[in-house]
Amino acid sequence: MIDKLKSRVKELLEAKTIGVFIGYEKGDNPALARPVMITAPDEASRLIYDDTCVAMLSKYLLKPEVKALDRRGVIASYSNLRAITGLIQEHQLTRNDVYIISTSTNDKITNLYDEVIEMSIKDYKSDDLDKKITEMMKLSPAERRAFWNKEFSKCIKCYACRQICPLCYCNRCIADKNQPQWIPTSPNPAGDFMWNLTRAYHLAGRCVDCGECERSCPVGIPLMLMNKMIYNNVKSNFGYEAGFDATVPPPLATYNPEDKENFII
């Protein structure tokens, strides 16, 4: 199937349907493919697609230097498709900006891709987290606080989670603002807590469950254990899962007068 991808990309570039194709090539690290921008038809032969192709490509769609090469083609796994849906929904992209080659057909995401070249790689799965979250909720608040303090205290404020997150695209992040400084910049207990909870909350109703933040975290904080709880919470409160429908507003940017309010005293 990789040959089909190579020849399709070559055709698309030759026909000038796209100006750039974002895919993967073999990098220095044998365990991790390197994202690559192909602009010349002959270079399409560099493309690979296997289990080492895990980095999210949707992030590159927003880079100014890539935008300049319009129209952008991309190979999109399931997670990538959802991320791109989120970006379209939040007006960072229009559907016409991107030419999407999906690696799978999916009933839940309809009409989002231009063509399908079926190739299966192992995709991130967060299903086993639900059990862990239930276990977490059985602990006392003090135990949970101790757990998260221990985890967050590992944070070195490298912001890799933010850099890799497909839905984190602000030009100026709240964590970089210092007037006023809402989030302490140094790796201290309060700063670690503020940063990690703020990041998690910013993804409420927007997280597409791709697991990239946790994968990229150099100190191994179980970020998805936090994100998935919020994901499930939004799903049960508002019946909403991000990354499937670009035409509806994100749940925390809208309201329903009939929302439950049993928590209000």
Partner 1 sequence: MPSNFEPKIIAFLCNWCSYAGADLAGTSRLKYAPNIRVIKVPCTGRLDPLFLMKAFEVGADGILVSGCHPNDCHYRSGNFLARRRWMVFKDMLEYAGIEPGRIHFSWVSAAEGARFVEVVNKVTDAVKALGPFGKLGK
Contacts of 262 (CB under 8 A, 6+ apart): none
Provide, rounded to whole angstroms, the least separation between the CB of residue 172 and partner 1. Answer: 15
List Cα–Cα distances, 261 to 77, 114, 134, 237, 239, in angstroms: 38, 43, 23, 11, 16
Q: Is 31 in the site for partner 1 (CB under 8 A)?
A: no
> Which of these segments, 55-63, 97-105, 161-169, 201-209, binds partner 1 (CB under 8 A)?
201-209
Q: What is the CA radius of gyration of the chain?
A: 20
Q: What b/e readout covers 137-149, taking b as 16+ CB neighbours within 10 angstroms?
A: eeeeeeeeeeebe
The CA distance from 188 to 156, in Å, is 9
Residue 8 tokens read as 């399709």
State the binding string over 148-187 for partner 1 (x if CB under 8 A, else -): xx--xx--------------------x-------xxx---
* Candidate residues 30, 220, 239, 257; the one interacting with partner 1 per rule CB under 8 A: 257
Provide, rounded to whole angstroms, the least separation between the CB of residue 91 and partner 1. Answer: 19
The CA distance from 147 to 226, in Å, is 12
Which residues in the 207-246 window bind partner 1 by CB under 8 A? 226, 229-230, 233-234, 237-238
Q: What is the dihedral of CA 189, 234, 251, 206, to 10 degrees?
A: 60
Q: Is 193 in the site for partner 1 (CB under 8 A)?
A: yes
Q: Is 106 in the site for partner 1 (CB under 8 A)?
A: no
Provide, rounded to whole angstroms, the least separation between the CB of residue 88 and partner 1. Answer: 22
Burial (CB < 10 A; 0-12, 13-18, 19+), residue 53, is: buried
In terms of CB distance, is 9 or 200 closer to partner 1?
200
What does the binding site for partner 1 look like in residue numbers (CB under 8 A)? 136-137, 141-149, 152-153, 174, 182-184, 188-194, 197-198, 200-201, 204-205, 226, 229-230, 233-234, 237-238, 251-257, 259-261, 263-265
